[in-house]
Structure 1
Amino acid sequence: MKSLQVDRNGALFIGVWSSGYIGGSVAATAIAPLAANLWRFLLGGLLLAGIAGHRRETWPRGRVLGAAAAVGVLLFTVQFGGLYIGMANGTPAATTALIACSSPLLVAAASAALGWDRLSARQWAGIALGVAGVAITLADRLGRPPTLAALAWTLLGLAGLAAGTLLQGRLRTSAGPAALAATEVAAATLVMAVWAPLEGSLAIPETARAIGSLLWIALIPGVLGPLLFFALIRQRGATRASSLLFVVPAVTAIAAWPILGAPLGATTVVGLAVAAAGLRLTLRPSARRQPEPERVAVRAGSNG
């Protein structure tokens, strides 16, 4: 029953995360990209804080508070800021998705180098298959970034996603999940509030397209996304949780067919099958469980 629940959580995460790409693609055509992220973070963070207050969750304090803020800036501000500016400078969306959704490979390599995780040969093969599945899914839409600057922004977004995922897996705190997520999103919001005005208008057009897409990305991937992702990282570890990103491009493409009218190609189906096979191999536990290393953040006491 426990494994079934984990699978349900993983499937729900994939659906929620994929919906963020659909809603984000709509929002980015109606609102300045970084402004969309700023308002998304602000609305999502307020709702997460409200949930934490209603549930009377413990909030992170002391060293954990600082660590959570740093993770939030990496995982949200750096990731989405870098990816969105890269696309605004001409990096094709499919190329951006390929780079971002290959982050499990970077997470696995860094975890192994730091001695935080050890994967079996079968799991490394699964990660390789997962990356191949993403590439197959997006093969007919890939293109080169027009400049080195555009590529650099995209790689910065990848670095934020990978580093944030790694450090999230090292956080140990008694703070509640909504309180922790709200803290991380609040830190991301503060940094984005300085960055976004430099890149364009902060105005939200008074159209159903702009307001509807903003509400969607703020409430669904903006609230449920972090809660599910953090829960999966605690359950599976950073590498295995992030490996769910392998199937996100294919699921997004399938959902975009009826919603955005984007045609579904045969490569999407093949890519989904390859990525799913890689994910299955990656999620299998290692034969030997390694002793738990020292964590980046100490376990907090009853006060968080």
Structure 2
Amino acid sequence: MTMERLHQACLATMPLLFVALWSTGFIGAKFGLPYAEPFTFLFIRFVLTLLLLVPLVMLLGGHWPKGAVLWGHIAVSGLLVHGAYLGGVFYGIYLGMPAGLASLLVGLQPLLTAALSGPLLDERLTPRQWLGLGLGLAGIALVLGGKLDPGQALFHGFGIEALGAVLVALVGISLGTLYQKRHCTGMPLLGGTVVQYLGAGTVLGLGALLFESRTIDWTPTFLLTLGWLVLVLSISAILLLMALIRRGEASRVASLFYLVPPVTALEAWWLFDERLPAASLVGMGIAIAGVVLVVRARA
């Protein structure tokens, strides 16, 4: 009886564990970027992930996408969901944006996805979703207003370029989510993830070749961070997500994603002493409330 209760407790905490692991991706960027440029960092991460993930697909008897057309669609979705998203986040943090703020901005993805689903998927927004969109915009205005700097950088610690990079990440993952929903309905999770990483890694590798020096300082901190991002985020989190989907818990994960920004902000405060002013903290709460409204309405 005790073992059964322990088993049930472990299952109940799996969605929370997934979200907690996901939040560390922003922290990993903060730890690793002093030692490698963003596109170079991500390219190495994807190469190492693929070296582990391809044998894992074969070992677990996973399926590969069927047909060249589906492969192409999945590669495009990977370019948006992983390439634009991670590339924008890492580049924004590289340019000085706090990890907690970056997490909050891309955490607005359900809001932008809901707004785009009307013209792209012919889905109508409910009044609750419109209210959520309004709260999200108001919250972000408060957060960014609290970070305004009358000096040349525009914001405390970062400039407009960092904000632009993270907004590219937000648009990328929103468009990628809609594209995947429309064109990748037959995508197997594990095999499809390999194809997505191939598409994203190819473009990020090209970006590293064209725009970066590709110099890496192989310190213990960088190696540990790279190992965490590959083994825990890119491999373990995907397997955990597969287990949750098999148990029908994917909706719980989606509803808990709004916890990622405050968890990331707490981690960044503890590890890097990143602080948000009171107005920004209030704005974060309002923005998260907007995301909750939209996610609940879509559910």
What TM-score, normalized to structure 1? 0.74
CA distance in 1, matches of 2:202, 2:88: 16
Q: Deviations over 1:100-148 (max 9, x none)?
A: 3333222111112223533421233234334545555665435637877
CA distance in 2, matches of 1:116, 1:167: 13
Relative to structure 1, is the Cα distance of residues 35 and 118 closer, same or farther in structure 2, using a 3 angstrom cutoff? same
Q: 218, 222, 233: which one pairs with 1:210?
A: 222
Relative to structure 1, is the Cα distance of residues 269 and 11 closer, same or farther in structure 2, using a 3 angstrom cutoff? farther
Q: Secondary structure at the match of 2:33?
A: helix
Q: Deviations over 1:276-301 (max 9, x none)?
A: 533443333569xxxxxxxxxxxxxx
Relative to structure 1, is the Cα distance of residues 139 and 224 closer, same or farther in structure 2, using a 3 angstrom cutoff? farther
Would you say the 8 A contact 2:98–2:274 is kept in 1? no
Using the TM superposition, give the Cα deviation of residue 261 of structure 1 relative to its aligned residue in structure 2, in angstroms.
Answer: 3.7
Using the TM superposition, give the Cα deviation of residue 199 of structure 1 relative to its aligned residue in structure 2, in angstroms.
Answer: 2.6
Count of residue correspondences: 280
Letter in 1 for 2:223: I
- 5+ long unaligned stretches in structure 1: 288-304
Q: 6, 25, 30: which one pairs with 1:25?
A: 30
Match of 1:180 in 2: 192
Q: Secondary structure at the match of 2:218?
A: coil
Would you say the 8 A contact 1:138–1:267 is kept in 2? no
- The answer as to 2:166 corresponding to 1:158 is no
Match of 1:120 in 2: 126
Using the TM superposition, give the Cα deviation of residue 50 of structure 1 relative to its aligned residue in structure 2, in angstroms.
Answer: 2.8
Letter in 2 for 1:112: G
What TM-score, normalized to structure 2? 0.75
Relative to structure 1, is the Cα distance of residues 54 and 203 closer, same or farther in structure 2, using a 3 angstrom cutoff? farther
- 5+ long unaligned stretches in structure 2: 1-8
Identity across matched positions, percent: 32
Using the TM superposition, give the Cα deviation of residue 214 of structure 1 relative to its aligned residue in structure 2, in angstroms.
Answer: 1.3
Match of 2:63 in 1: 58
Match of 2:110 in 1: 104
Using the TM superposition, give the Cα deviation of residue 95 of structure 1 relative to its aligned residue in structure 2, in angstroms.
Answer: 6.0
Relative to structure 1, is the Cα distance of residues 11 and 70 closer, same or farther in structure 2, using a 3 angstrom cutoff? same
CA distance in 1, matches of 2:66, 2:278: 50
Q: Deviations over 1:184-236 (max 9, x none)?
A: 1122112222211223233442311111111112223333555677978x955
Letter in 2 for 1:43: L
Match of 2:6 in 1: none
Q: Deviations over 1:164-184 (max 9, x none)?
A: 1212223211x5311111111
Q: Which moved more, 1:274-283 or 1:22-31?
A: 274-283
- The answer as to 2:24 corresponding to 1:39 is no
CA distance in 2, matches of 1:142, 1:10: 35
Q: Deviations over 1:56-103 (max 9, x none)?
A: 111013121111111111112222333444555566766655543333
Would you say the 8 A contact 2:36–2:215 is kept in 1? yes
Using the TM superposition, give the Cα deviation of residue 13 of structure 1 relative to its aligned residue in structure 2, in angstroms.
Answer: 4.0
CA distance in 1, matches of 2:145, 2:241: 27
Relative to structure 1, is the Cα distance of residues 224 and 201 closer, same or farther in structure 2, using a 3 angstrom cutoff? farther
Q: 193, 196, 204: which one pairs with 2:205?
A: 193
Letter in 2 for 1:78: A
Match of 1:292 in 2: none
Relative to structure 1, is the Cα distance of residues 84 and 259 closer, same or farther in structure 2, using a 3 angstrom cutoff? closer
